[in-house]
Amino acid sequence: MKNTPIAGLLAALPLALAFEAHAQAPAPADKLVFGSNWYAQAEHGGFYQALAEGTYKKHGLDVAIKMGGPQINVLQLLLAGQYDVAMGDDLQTYKAVEQGLPLVTVATTFQQSPTVLVSHPGPKTLGDLKGKTLYIGQASETTYWPWLKTKYGFTEAQKKPYTFSVQPFLVDKNSAVQGYLASEPYTIETQGRFKPTVFLLGAYGYPPYAQTIVATKTGLDAKKDAIRRFVEASAEGWKSYLKNPAPGNALILKDNPQMTPALLDYGVKALRDARLVDGGDARTQGLLTMTDARWKKTYDFMVREKLLSPKVDYRSAFTTDIVDQVRVLP
């Protein structure tokens, strides 16, 4: 065949098409494994919503959510490299840093703690529980119990062990029991057939954030952009979930067969009513935000109650670099 300009063009065409196809091919998604702190529930809804609606994919991520449970040490798996990011909490991360573990908090789901004290009808404020029997779990010794004693004068004499059954509380009308906003109040309403009085500790000044997003320092250095996109997509997921939780709830029910639609509905309403996700600084700075000043309050509380050594740098457990770049308003 005579070598004409047209023949040359035809010969080059397959190569040109191959280059074009390569140029148009999407970049492979960055894989991230996210470890949750418990069985799938409404408190995890925004993350499942981002998965269900393809928000992570839109941000160039391939995210797997690994459900937690009572036998799963989330931060241990994070440190072992099984997870890229995981759910944590301020106090736990500060204690880990005190022990020399390289953890860092990059964002928070809740602007205040969902920890509650639940009483029979009658008391009007948290301080009214002074003198009443309080069913409190052992883990509270290193979290909110010292805060309650200092702020409200609660005593060891009024405390009884909480065995994660509300039955003793239901029998004792002059008592209160610890819980989480979307859990124990629901159980008490369904089993006790009355509407209890619920005191949200965060609303009374208990300082920590809750259900934070934690990475290792080396992991953050290696995948900082992917983690930033994860936080942004998760914030978008939470914004969507609070408006219409159906897509996320469908995945939650699939992941956790023990969950019920009724409990999910209760949980979503509790999150909305208390503005756990979209209240506080999130109203003006965006969902999942954190501030230096708020972390300092938690640090000061822990040092004052001798839960943390004052030698620990209060900025060592968190960074606002990620949330400062993300602004998803409610």
Share of the chain above pLDDT 90, in %: 91
How is the chain split into domains, by residue range?
30-111+209-325, 115-204
Encode pLDDT of 278-325 as tens digits: 999 999 999 999 999 999 999 999 999 999 999 999 999 999 999 999
Is domain 115-204 classified as CATH 3.40.190.10?
Answer: yes
Residue 230, C-beta contacts closer than 8 angstroms, at least 6 positions apart? 32, 34, 56, 59, 61, 63, 85, 213
Cα distance from N-terminal residue to C-terminal residue, the chain: 67
Q: What is the mean pLDDT of residues 67-94?
A: 96
pLDDT at 46: 98
115-204 and 30-111+209-325 share a CATH fold: yes
Q: What is the mean pLDDT of residues 145-162?
A: 96
Q: Is the pLDDT of residue 15 over 80?
A: no
Encode pLDDT of 83-115 as tens digits: 999 999 999 999 999 999 999 999 999 999 999
Read off the pTM: 0.91
Is domain 30-111+209-325 classified as CATH 3.40.50.2000?
Answer: no
pLDDT at 14: 55
Q: What is the mean pLDDT of residues 32-53?
A: 97
Alpha-carbon dihedral sign for residues 311, 312, 315, 316: positive
Q: Output DSSP code: residue 125.
A: S
Q: Average pLDDT, whole number, for the chain?
A: 93
Burial class (CB in 10 A: 0-12, 13-18, 19+), 156: exposed
Q: Long-range contacts made by residues 92-99, C-beta under 8 angstroms, separation at least 24?
A: 93/212, 93/214, 93/317, 93/318, 94/298, 94/299, 94/302, 94/308, 94/312, 94/317, 95/142, 95/307, 95/308, 96/317, 97/312, 97/316, 97/317, 98/308, 98/309, 98/312
Q: Is the pLDDT of residue 10 over 60?
A: no
pLDDT at 1: 44
pLDDT at 27: 78
pLDDT at 2: 46
pLDDT at 19: 53
pLDDT at 300: 97
Q: Is the pLDDT of residue 17 over 70?
A: no
